[in-house]
């Protein structure tokens, strides 16, 4: 859980640094994609913080953890996929016809970090299911 929390917060830090340096959000294609990305990142930063605090105080959230990991895996893979597939929209050529990538590095870093975070959620989900960690 700590690795998931750190990964989500690293994405939030990239988000904030992009906002500070350019004054605009990290855009992932359309406005809908950007809203989806922002909601996923900020929503999961709050959810993961709450789950970590409950775990630190000895609470047990087995079914909630299962749902959070399943949905988190899907959402972060989708955010990563959106950012990776939208990189081609930002590619242009220079005078000689050589491809030049004009988008900011934050879109690529958000995409890769989102895919890594999705993998962390997938590993945690597999761990819970394999060890029968949850009870209904």
Token code pair at residue 9:
């917060």
DSSP 3-state assignment of 1? Answer: coil
Please state, in angstroms and rounded to a whole number, the distance separating the CA atoms of residues 4 and 40: 14
Distances (CA, A) of 53 to 23, 42, 56, 90, 135: 32, 17, 5, 40, 21
Beta-carbon contacts of residue 42 (< 8 Å; ≥ 6 apart): 12
Burial class (CB in 10 A: 0-12, 13-18, 19+), 76: buried
Task: Print pLDDT tens along the chain (136 aa).
Answer: 788 888 888 888 887 777 777 666 666 667 787 788 888 888 988 998 888 888 888 877 778 888 888 999 999 999 888 887 776 555 444 455 555 544 556 677 788 889 999 999 999 888 888 887 655 5
């Amino acid at each position: 859980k700590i690795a998931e929390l750190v990964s989500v917060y690293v994405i939030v830090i990239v988000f904030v640094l992009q906002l500070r340096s350019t004054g605009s959000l990290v855009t992932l294609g359309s406005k809908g994609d950007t809203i989806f990305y922002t909601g996923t990142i900020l929503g999961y930063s709050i959810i993961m913080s709450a789950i970590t605090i409950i775990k630190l105080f000895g609470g047990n959230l087995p079914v909630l953890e299962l749902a959070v990991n399943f949905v988190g895996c899907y959402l972060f893979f989708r955010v990563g996929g959106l950012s990776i597939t939208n990189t081609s929209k930002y590619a242009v050529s220079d005078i000689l016809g050589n491809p030049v990538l004009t988008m900011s590095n934050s879109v690529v870093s958000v995409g890769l970090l989102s895919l890594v975070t999705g993998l962390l959620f997938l590993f945690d989900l597999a761990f819970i299911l394999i060890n029968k960690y949850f009870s209904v």
